[in-house]
Structure formats: C-alpha cells, structure tokens
Structure 1
Amino acid sequence: MKMRWMHSGMLAVLFACSLVGTLRAELKLPNLFTDHMVLQRDMPISIWGQANKGADVTVALGDQKVTVTANDDGRWKAELKSLPAGGPHEVVVRSGDSEKVIKDVLVGEVWVCSGQSNMQWDVNSANDADIEKLTANFPKLRLITVPQVGTQEPQDNFNGKWELCTPQTVGSFSAVGYFFGRQLEQTLDVPIGLIDNSWGGSSAEAWVNRDVLRESGKFDALLARWKQTEETYDHDKAMAQYRENLAAWKKKAEEAKAAGKPAPGGQPGAPRNPLTNQHRPANLYNGVLNPIIGYGIRGVIWYQGESNAGRAYQYRDLFPLMIENWRSEWGQGDFPFYWVQLADFRQEKDQPADSDWAELREAQTMTLDRLPKTGEAVIIDLGEAEDIHPKNKQDVAKRLARLALANEYGYKIVSQSPRYQSMKVDGDAIVLEFNTFGSQLDYFDTRALQGFTIAGADKKFVHATASIVDGTHVRVSSPEVKEPVAVRYAWADNPVANLQNSQGLPATPFRTDDWDGVTKNNK
C-alpha cells in the first residue's frame, strides 16, 4: 500500500513537472525579436508574443519595466517608452518561471525594404559584388529577411533572425536595401535596421488586405477572376496530370535514345500552385507583411510595378490603396513611403509608340499627388534593354537615400527629379515649365535634348526638337506639327532621353495629354 502511494505521488510530481514545463514553454516571441535587433528610436516601442491565457508578462528594457496580461488567446503586447539612438541593450521578457533574453539590441532607424524581384535582387548579383562585400563590415547595420510564404491565413511569425552586416551575411541580402541602409548609416552615424520582405514577380494586389480590395469596389473584376481560380483549381489533380505527362515524355525519350534519335522537346514542367503564389490577392499581405506589422519603423522603400504594367490604369488606384492599407494597419500615421519608378527596359523603338511601361510609370508618379510623405526615385537611365533586373543597384539606392535624407533627416540636398508642371502654346511650339525642386534643368551627354515628342489634334506624335530655355523651362517644336497641342517625354518602354537636373537626377517621364492609353480597359 505504501509503495502504491509512493508510486502515485511520484506520478503526481512528474505530472506537475510536466505541467510546469508546458507552462514555461508557452512564453514565445516572434522572430522579429531576436539578438542583434534594431528598435526604432524616438518612438514608442512595441514588443509582443504569446504566453498562457491570463498569465502576466513582464518586459524590461534598460530602466523600464512593463507588465501586461495575456488575453484569452494567449496573446500579449507591451509598449515601452521611446529611446534615443544607442545601445547595446538587453530586453528581458518573463512570465512565471519562463524567461527570454534578447541581447545586443540597438536603437536607431528601421526601414522596410519591399516589392518584387528588383528589391529582392541580392548583393551577390549586383555590380561589383566582390569588392562591395569586402568592405561590408558595419556592425551597427543589422539585417533580417522574411521568407516567402503566400497564404490567405494571416501569419504571426516567420523563420528568420537579425544578423550583423558582414562580408559573410550581406551577399544574400537585398542589394537596394543594403546600399540604402549603408548610405544612411554612414551619413547619420546611428544604428540602422533593414527588414526585407520582398518577393520576385509579386503583383501589388497580393500586398493588400483582401477586405480592403473588396470594399474599395474598384477591383471587382480582378477579384472575380481569382474567385473562379480558387473555386476550380485543384493542385493535386494538376500534379497528377504533370506526373502522367512526364512519364509519357520519359518513355518517348528512352525510345528515341534506343533508336539513336535525339530526345523529344517539350519536357513537361511542374505546375505552380496559384493559390500559394505571389499574385493572389492578399497572399503576401498575410504571409510576409502581417508578421512585421506593428514593429516600429521609420518608413518603407519599395521597388515593384513590373508585374502590374499590363494594368497600369488600375495601378493608379491600386498602388495608393496599398500604401494607405499599410499605414492604417501599422498605426504609425503617414510614415514615409519611397518607391523606385520602373527602369528603362526592352528594345528601343525608332518611332513614338504606346507603352504599358510608360503608363505604369505615370501611375506611380500620380501617387505623389494623392498621398503625403511619398517620394519617387526615377531611374530611366539605369536600366538594361535585355535584363529586367539592372545590376546597378548602387545608384538606385542613392536616389532613394536622397529622399530619406532630405525629407526625414533634414539634410539640405536636392532629392527629387525635375517634374513637369504646366505647358503653354507659343506659336508652333510648346513651352514646358518644370518644378526643379531647388535645382536647375540640365542635359546629359549631348546638348541636344532627346526624348521629346509632339502632336497636334490628330494625336499623332513625332520626334521633336527641344532646348532648355532657362533653369525651369524647355521649348519643344517640330516642323511636322504646325499647331501643337501635346508633348510627351520619355514615353516609351526604353526611352532615349537626357533631360536631368544639375545633380544628375533624370527628369520624370510625363505626358501633357490625357488621351486613352493601351491599358485603360485592362482590369
């Protein structure tokens, strides 16, 4: 009897120990909060995670200590007072007997680096990657990458961690992000944190909360197409068909080999699941954005648009809606959002023509007038006709850094490209006025301006002669157009254009007309 009591007691002890272990294991922090992280300076600091339902959680940072209670879902969030740039600090999180210690925490400037493949494009693939990595010793510059997960279910965490910027870690990180962050770190002399959640080939609608898309009422056709895909696509069936086709192809290849003939072409490729890809509305909002929403940031740099060029008119509403959605969800007000306009790409054309890429650039520029605290880096001089991924990411990043340094950090530098403001017909010519944002109009390579076309009421554009009148005006004409009504500049996939400002920032592509474009009816 005594032995039985002892056995039962031992079981009770073991059960209690197991229960304690379970309780201790319930304290969890997302991987945003790991060693070497950077917290945004001069802004309330939010730290969150999971614990047992109703458990008290204490978060300590320096001389601050805040205690909160986990809700019925076990979620908790602590808010600490802002700190100036500096560190290193430790963050200690306790709940019951469980403790998490985050070491080597710096406070500085945090930027999100997002978009599609040109933001994802890593340092290893950029110009001068070998010598760039040799000098990438910046212990106050910290990097974290969010893996690519496409889903309709909001994700709270991801597989990643903060790392110091070193020659060993920088190679796989976003090139535009790194060069941007490096410029800030060297200029500001404060810690810099970069969060890269870009995904190559992604469409803008994948970055927006689905409810926001639906409630806007402007994307019904887009959502209807996707609803049909969601209701009819069967990935298991598609994979079974692929395996069947592949087996048939292999059989033919073996028969051809036995007969001394070349293998047949058209080897089947495995199908990609559209339900988990980077195009489905809200997939990236849930999979790679939601896990970082709420983390204190200064702002966002963005490089995307190629995948939406065929629907450029739609992008006029979609892009600003996306930015507003992010700002609303973050709860930080109108944080700065700076993007890269599409580069020059595809073959040059001898004659003026319609261009979906020109229309997408226009949609990007229109967003400047719709939303505050936005900026655009124009790079029509940095692209490559044969490569949608131009390797000169250094100059792209410098133009983004100009915007941040001028607008967010108070540096008296020119940050914006010249932008068309108004036009006036002067006889057989049109005189254009530009906002040069504190600079002067200039030209690159040749004094004769290139890239201007002009049209009359017949809407037929021809190449024009253009010259700089003064620091803010350009005169445009052509002997073929006696009564001009409209001018376009750099209106092509790959324009040959050379108007810039004194700092070498290329003029923003534009048109003075509002005639229907080739993507107007694409939904």
Structure 2
Amino acid sequence: MLRLPVLFGDGCVLQRDVPIKIWGWGTPGAQIEVTLGPMCQTVIVEEEGTWEAWFEPLRANECVSLIAQSFVSTVGALGDDDISAVQASKRRRRGPVNYSVEEERRFREAVAKMDLLPNAKLAMHRAGLCMTETLQRTCYVGEVFVCSGQSNMELPVSWTWRDDPALLQWEDPLLRQCKIMPDHCFEGPLGEPRSVVWEPYEGQHRRRFTTVGAWFGRALRRLLGVPVGLLNISLGGSPVESWMDKATASSFPHLAESIAQFRFTDKAEQLAQDSIVEQERWRQHCVQQRLEDQDLKWHDVVLPGDLASQLPALDGYHGELTLKRIVRLPERISLADYETLPALLDLGTMTDADETYVNGVKVGESFDRYTPRSYEVPAGTLRAGDNVIEVRLRIEGDDARVAIGKRLELRIGDGLVDVDDIEEFWESKEPKRLARRLSLVGVPHVVPDRRRQAAKQAAREEHAALWDLCNDIVEVDGRPLDGLEEPTKNRIIQHDFSQSLQVVNLNGAWQCAMSSAMPDACPQQVFINWKPMALFNAMLAPCFDYAVRAVLWYQGESNTGPDSKWYQAMLEAMIKLWRANWNVDRLPFFIVQLPELLTECADDGGWPTVREAQWRIMDAYTGQPLYSLDACDEYGNEGGAGDDVPQEPQDVSGAVSDVATIVALGCGDPYDLHPVHKREIAERLAHAAMCFVFGSEDDKPTPVAVGIDWQQNDNGWVPIAVEADTLHQGYASRSPWTGVLFTEDGMAPLGFEWILRDGTSVPTQACINQGQLMVQLPDADREDLLELRYAWSRNPHDGLVMGSTITPMPPFRLRIED
C-alpha cells in the first residue's frame, strides 16, 4: 500500500534552497514514480517496505504538486488485494505484454478507478504495468522553522486572543503550521508522528497556532515575502531530557533512575493510569467529606491574593474551599434586561481546580492551576438585585491562592469589537531595496474594517460568526486539535465582551469557608510524556528527514529545580543531538531566555541559573567559566565554600556555534507562568533570524557586562565595562558598546548585589552616569568580594538596564579576580 508520511500533508511547506527528500512506504518491489514540480524520480520499494527519492533544491514562492504513483506488472486476475500474484507475474514476464480481451477489459476498469495522469496511461499499457495507487499533495516552498519547547512555545492563540485581540485582525494563507500531536514512546524512535495537520493562519485554524509562532511567522512573511511553515513540536511541562534520545540522556547520572524506571511504553502507561486512579480516589473522598452549607464557617478574605497569608488555618491546608461573593445589580442595564444578556466571569488563575457557579448555575470548571478561568454566563442567569458567585476551589498542592496580580471582573452584555481600536505597531526595518528584490506572493491581508460595512447589526452578525470560527473544535483521532492535551468541558465563549454594557470589579472582599479538609495532599499524576526519551522518540525523531531552516527553542521552566546546574550541559548535548539527526552541522538555534516570574517557582536560584546557561551557550563566549562552584554558593544562599555545594556537572564548552539567545526580560508576567503577550518575544526572534540566517544588519545589539574597571574608582563607585553582542550571518561577535544605556522608567537601575566570600549578599546601588553604568562598592575589602550580580533572581522586574535600541541587558554575575 502506497503511503506518504503525514508530514507531507496537503498544504505543507518545503524548505527552499536545500535538497529535498521525499520518502514513504509501499509494497516491496513495486515501482514508485515521484514527481515534485518539474522533477521526477523513479525508485523501487525496498524489501522492508520503504522508499525514498531526492530532489534538487526549489526556489521560494512556488506552489508545486507532489505526486507519488505506484506501479506493478499486470496479471490475468488484476486486483488490489492480490499483490503477491502481481509480484510473481512481474518476475515471470518481461517486456511488453499482449493482453487478451478479458485482460484488456480488466486493465481499463482498473485504470478508470484510479486518479491516473492521462499521459501515463498508454506508456503503462505498453509496458505491462498497472498503477495501483496515486497520492497527490499541494506543497509550498519557503522557509520552515521548528517551534519547540514547553508550554510557553505551545501556548495556542485560543488561549491568548482575548488578551491580545490583534491576533484575530489578520489572516495569511501562506503562514502555515504543522502541529505534532502529543505522544510518547520509550522503546525507540517511531516511523512517523501519531497525527499532524497542516493548517493556514485563517479562520478557525488560527486558534490552534502557537502564539509565538504566529507573530514570528507574520514578521518573516512581511520581511521575506515567502511562505513560512512552522513545525510545532512542543508540549507543556516538558523538561529538556524528554527531547533527548536514550544514549544522550544516559550520559547524565541524575537521570539514571528515571531512565531505568521508564523503559517500556506499556508499563509506563500503566504507571500513569494508576496515578490517575489514586488522584480520582482522593478527589472522590474530598467530595464525600464536603460539609453542608449550614455547617460552613465563613471568614473574610481579599481577592486576588494568597489565602494562607490571610487565614493561618490554610497554611498547609489540603481539600476544598468555598469562595463566595454577592454582587448587587440594578433593575436594568441600559434598555436591556438580564433575560437577554450573557456575561463573562473572569477570575484569572487559581490553585488548583475549581467548579464555579452563578446563582446556582454551573458556568465552568478547570482542572489545573494554569488555565485562565474565563467562563461565559448564559443569558437569564443573572438577575436584578443580589447575585451569588460561588467557587468551589480544590487545594491539591501546598498553597492556596487566587489570581495574584490579576483583575477579577464580571462583564455583562456583549458588544462589537472595532478592529481599528487596536493599532498594528509592526514596521518593517528592512531596507526598501530588499522588498523590491523579493518576489512577494500571497502578502498577508488584514481583516476588513468593520466600520465600513453597511450596518452595525450586520457587522455584529459577522463578528459573531468570526467568534464561532475561532472557538470551533476540530478533532483528530478523537482529541481536540487546539494545542492542549485535555478537551475543554466548558461552554464555548460565543460572544465578544470587550464592549460590555457593564463591568463589575470583583477585586476586594470575598468570603471563604473550609468545606472539605483532607489529611494529605492529592497524589501527583505521573506524566510519562515528560520522562527522558518520551517526546524525542514519538514527536521529534519522525521529523528528522523533513528539511528545516532553524529551531526556535522556548523551554527551561521545568529544569529550574534542584538539577538546574545540569541545564547548560544538557542543552548543549540536545543541540548537538538534533543537528546530528537532521544532518545539519550548523543548524541555527534561537533560544528564548526565561523571563521574570514571581509565583509558581521557588526562590532557590534555579531560574537565574537556567537563564545564565541559556546565555552562556552562545558562541560569543570564550568557553571559560565566569565563576567557580568551589568558591561560591551556586544558588546564592547564605553560606560559603564550606557549605554543601552541588558538584559541578560534566565539562561543557560554554559556547555552541550558530546559537543566538533572545533576552526576554520585560516580556514576562510576575504573576503568570504563561504570559499571554508574546508579540515582543516573537519579533525579537524574527529580528535575530533575519540577522543570523538571512544576513540582515543587526541594528539592535545587546549590551553585555564583561567586567569591572577597578582603575576608575570614583569615591566608592566603579564602572561596569559593557560590550555589544551583535548577530551576523551564522555567528555572534562582541565589540565595544557605543550606544546609550538607560532604564525604562528613567530611575536608577535595580537588582545589583555583591556576594562576599563568606556567602553574604550585599545589595548595592547603581546609576547611569553620562551613559556609563556605575555600581557602588560595599563596605568591605576587595579581597572579600567574590562576585557582582545583576538581575540574579526569579523576578527581576523593575529597574532593568536597557540598550539604546530598547534591548535589555541579560542577567550576569561577574567573578572578582584575586
């Protein structure tokens, strides 16, 4: 049976200017004719049932056809189910065949049933061949990028468009995504992904795009004018080791136990299922212990906020809480009544799972701490007077908090979004001559201005239809193809609430009651997708024969724990592994450095350690370490060299060629692990790609601290030597900084501290004096100073040092030489 990999789906994007490999499966011994645009190759299916054909590079902007046709020798009894007879006949009979009348009739019937190219019929007839199958695909030729990592790369438009509605203001049929659906395997690499779909950035397909990829692709489409394809090979929560093969992962001793435990897929799946059963047993017990309403004891709390800090009894509490807020509404809103007005209840994120009710009507539920609680309240649920909002919040972990740093609100009545209310800020920085030199095909178009349409009602109906498209659920193999692992059970939001008739602020006083206390925390689920090798074998390895231009890597959050010291070595090993398997020695990698975060992570030094690893892996460094683990506490805790310092991982070069790291400080949300505004990060990635891959001039160099100029001590203040990291085609260089330094708010820089040799941290002041970055010396001898740190915390949010091109300075720690 002739078959192409699912990667070659209809509408796929092929990488331009490189040799193209087309492969597939078929009946052993069958002749396969493969046509790609104007080129044609004939191959024979190997005994194991595989075939491959290589083609010369294609230029961009072409829409080409990929046709694969399978031929076998004709026999007296022609049938698709008698392949062995066909093969035997082919071995017996050579050369042209004289058919009997019956054979001729059967041949013509078989040909009539096939999608046979007219010019091939006669040649096949004379050669004694019959086509058994034909496969045809429409392909585009342009630029293909891998979008990989964990949740912040996977985060789909369906999650972010309400906070970033500009995502729905444009469409582009030549920006296309191939989402590799989540899967796992431990025995070895699979032959092809479980299921994929190539989709354009149009209509309902947009909601399934990675948000980072959508903005990145839009920028490149405008700058290059060629089709852009995104291989979305990402999965939320995945650590770097899940994207390695067994041999690479086995070189890291801290992974040995996990590798030994998860060697077989069926046993791993059973472990995962057992953990889910334990979780459900805990949750059922929690529901069974729920107190009656009259037995609840209510306490006053303020939301959003940390509940344990307000109620000492919630410190270490596990079980269910009931949160309640009474909202009083007027008799009518404008000229409408509540029977016809839907509403949107937005409660941000909370730990951990919830069921939410309005006036006794269940409006939604979520099962994790990361999903935004945006629930549509059906028309007729609200009423004049008192309305009760009740949240049954299940605390499964060790903390109880609700939407810290967010706004809780109830938006009543839907409205019409005017697409002109939100401006497009993107301006191409490329010279006009580049645009003239490029042959632009399928330039992105903006959704038409609705204010120019005939009537407001017609616009409202069209806008509602757009919302329907964006919330449409498409399934593959019975699973929702929306970038999320679990299907939603909530009501699809069918209305636009950006211009609601009334917005009720729910921040402030709520009531809280402990409705079901449990003695222990909920058992943790075993996520086998996150184990070493699982994603490499099932999602990544099947894509290695598909040619790509570069890799976008946004990951690291899951490696900020106790083993963060291994991250640089593991990331370097992973990059080398991917390049070897793609057979591209200098495959470019663009790494997004972790942004700021205050909640959802421990303040144990893991985040700055991973950030430093992501920066130091660039080839602008010499490979010499800037610090010594023997001389300082790696995690920045109090204590000196005599403390229990982690052993240093295996030696790494400290630099990998053809890697560019994107500083993401200022692009995060201190209170959200998944910041929804991804455009700035995506455009920084696009700028780096244009410089690094396509040879554009880097007009946004990154300011980098490289040392302390002790010779210019000015009354206890010393200058920091700053150089510029500039991206060129294929490498990064370092040169003297000639730009201006400043902070975004115009105030003094923050986040500087001296680390003494006894482990003491001494915060210090900094300033920018005539463009020079200066820091104040501590009240200590120079011999007692170990290093100077900047932004060395999980949440360096204020007082960030910026370059003259609004490029943030990356966090650093500078070793004080003896």
Q: TM-score, normalised by structure 2?
A: 0.55
**Distance between the aligned counterparts of 1:245 and 1:470, measured in 2?**
60
Q: CA deviation at 1:466?
A: 2.1
Distance 1:28-1:421 versus aligned 2 partners, 3 A rule = same
Deviation at 1:256, TM superposition (A): 6.6
Measured after TM superposition, the shift of residue 140 of structure 1 is: 1.4
Give the aligned partner of residue 248 of structure 2.
212
1:151 has 2:185 as partner: yes
The letter for the 1-side match of 2:253 is: D
1:30–1:158 CA contact under 8 A, matched in 2? no
Distance 1:492 1:282 in 2: 31
How far did residue 457 of structure 1 move? 3.9
Deviation at 1:246, TM superposition (A): 5.2
Counterpart residue number, 2:135: 100
* Deviations 1:219-257, CA, capped at 9 Å, x for gaps: 123123431465997764775686588569758856877
Q: Distance in 2 between matches of 1:326 and 1:360?
A: 20
- Following superposition of structure 1 onto structure 2, how do residues 180-219 of structure 1 map, counting pairs within 5 Å? 180-214=216-250, 217=251, 219=252
Alignment of 1:107-186 (within 5 A): 107-126=141-160, 131-152=165-186, 153-155=188-190, 156-186=192-222
Write the deviation string for residues 451-474 of structure 1: whole angstroms up to 9, x where unpaired.
Answer: 222244444232222233566x52
Between Structure 1 and Structure 2, the one with more helix by share is 1
Q: Which residue of 2 aligns with 1:14?
A: none
Which residue of structure 1 lines up, in the alignment, with residue 791 of structure 2?
A: 490
Q: 1:240 to 1:368 in 2, by over 3 A?
A: closer
AA paired with 2:745?
Answer: D
Query: What code does the residue aligned with 1:376 have?
Result: T
Equivalent in the alignment of 1:279: 530
- 1:455-494 to 2 correspondences below 5 Å: 455-468=755-768, 473-483=772-782, 484-494=785-795
What is the aligned counterpart of 2:55 among 80, 84, 87? 80
Q: Specify whether residues 248 and 385 from structure 1 end up closer, same or farther in structure 2 by C-alpha distance, changes over 3 A only.
A: closer
Q: 1:67 to 1:450 in 2, by over 3 A?
A: same
Give the SS at the match of 2:596.
Answer: coil
Question: Deviation string for 1:399-448 (max 9, x for gaps)?
Answer: 11111011111222334422222333244444322222366242121242
- Verify: 1:332 aligned to 2:633, yes or no: no
Write the distance in 1 (CA, Å) between the matches of 2:768 and 2:233.
Answer: 42
Q: Residue 345 of structure 1: CA displacement?
A: 0.4
Tell me, in whole angstroms, the C-alpha distance in 1 between the residues paired with 2:739 and 2:659: 22
Across the two proteins, how many residue pairs are aligned to each other? 480
SS at match of 2:608: helix
Q: Percent of pairs identical after alignment? A: 30
Q: Which amino acid aligns with 2:787?
A: A
Output the CA distance in 2 between the equivalents of 1:404 and 1:482: 45
Alpha-carbon contact 2:279-2:524 (below 8 Å) kept: no
Partner of 2:3: 28
Cα distance in 1 for partners of 2:286, 2:801 equals 58
Q: Distance in 2 between matches of 1:249 and 1:499?
A: 47
Where does 1:260-409 land on structure 2 (aligned, <5 Å)?
264-266=516-518, 272-274=525-527, 277-310=528-561, 311-346=563-598, 355-369=605-619, 370-409=655-694
CA distance in 2, matches of 1:507, 1:244: 47
Unaligned runs of 5+ in 1: 1-25, 516-523
Q: Matched residues in 2 for 1:248 and 1:380: separation?
A: 40
Aligned to 1:59: 34
User: Which residue does 2:344 correspond to in 1?
Assistant: none
| 2:700 is equivalent to residue 424 of structure 1 | no
With over 3 angstroms needed to count, the CA separation of the structure-2 counterparts of 1:293 and 1:233, relative to structure 1, is closer
- Look up the SS of the partner of 1:446 in the other structure: coil
Contact 1:242 1:268 in 2 (8 A): no
Give the whole-Å Cα distance in 1 for the aligned partners of 2:279 and 2:755: 54
8 A contact 1:143–1:193 mirrored in 2: yes
Give the Cα–Cα distance (whole angstroms) in 1 for the partners of residues 243 and 216 of structure 2: 22
- Distance of 1:144 and 1:377 partners within structure 2: 24
Return 367-376 or 295-304, whichever deviates more. Answer: 367-376
**One-letter code of the match for 2:571?**
F
Larger mean CA deviation between 63-72 and 144-153 belongs to 63-72
- Kept in 2, the 8 Å contact 1:89–1:106? The answer is yes
Alpha-carbon separation, structure 2, partners of 1:385 and 1:316: 24
Question: Separation in 2 of the partners of 1:482 and 1:452?
Answer: 18
> What does 1:448-459 correspond to in 2, within 5 Å?
448-459=748-759
Residue number among 46, 71, 91 corresponding to 2:66 in the alignment: 91
SS in 2 for 1:32: helix
Aligned partners of 1:207 and 1:322 also within 8 Å: yes
- Alpha-carbon distance in structure 1 between the residues aligned to 2:664 and 2:564: 18
Match of 1:446 in 2: 746
Counterpart AA for 1:382: C
Q: What is the alpha-carbon distance in structure 2 between the residues aligned to residue 287 and residue 514 of structure 1?
A: 46
The answer as to whether partners of 2:701 and 2:805 remain within 8 angstroms in 1 is: no
Contact 1:127 1:393 in 2 (8 A): no
Higher deviation after alignment, 360-369 or 442-451: 442-451
Structure 2 residue 807 is matched with structure 1 residue 505: yes
1:376/1:416 contact within 8 Å kept: no
| Corresponding residue number in structure 1 for 2:23 | 48
Residues 459 and 431 (structure 1), Cα distance of their counterparts in 2 relative to 1, 3 Å cut: farther
Of 256, 260, 279, which aligns to 1:223?
A: 256
| 1: CA distance, partners of 2:208 / 2:295 | 43
How far is the alpha carbon of 1:333 from its aligned partner? Answer: 2.2
**Separation of aligned partners in 1, 2:278 and 2:719:** 65
Shift of 1:328: 0.4
Q: Which amino acid aligns with 2:790?
A: Y
2:258, 2:532 within 8 Å by CA — same for their partners in 1?
no
Q: Output one character per residue of 1:183-228: Cα deviation in whole Å (capped at 9) or x when no partner.
A: 00011111111110110000100001111222xx3x1231234314
Aligned-residue CA RMSD (Å): 3.1
The alpha-carbon distance between structure 1 residues 467 and 259, as it changes in their structure 2 partners (threshold 3 A), is closer
Name structure 2 gaps, 5 residues minimum. 72-130, 297-514, 620-654, 727-737
Counterpart contact for 1:403–1:415, Cα < 8 Å: no
Give the CA deviation at 1:486: 2.4
Q: Secondary structure at the match of 1:79?
A: strand
Worse overlay, 48-57 or 478-487: 478-487
Q: Distance in 2 between matches of 1:146 and 1:237?
A: 24
The alpha carbon displacement at 1:126 in A equals: 2.5
1:298 is aligned with what amino acid? R
> Would you say the 8 A contact 1:441–1:468 is kept in 2?
no
Cα separation, partners in 2 of 1:480 and 1:74, compared to 1, 3 Å:
same
Q: Which secondary structure does the structure 1 equivalent of 2:47 belong to?
A: coil
Secondary structure in structure 1 of the residue aligned to 2:815:
coil
Q: Which residue of 2 aligns with 1:9?
A: none
> In the aligned structure 2, how far is the partner of 1:468 from the partner of 1:244?
57
Matches within 5 A, 1:246-257: 250=284
For the residues of structure 2 that align with 1:288 and 1:321, how far apart are their CA atoms? 18
Matched residue, 1:520 = none
**In 2, Cα distance between the equivalents of 1:245 and 1:431?**
56
Larger-Rg structure: 2
Aligned to 1:412: 697
| Cα displacement string for residues 293-342 of structure 1 (whole angstroms, at most 9, x for unaligned residues) | 12111101010000001122101100010011000000122111001101
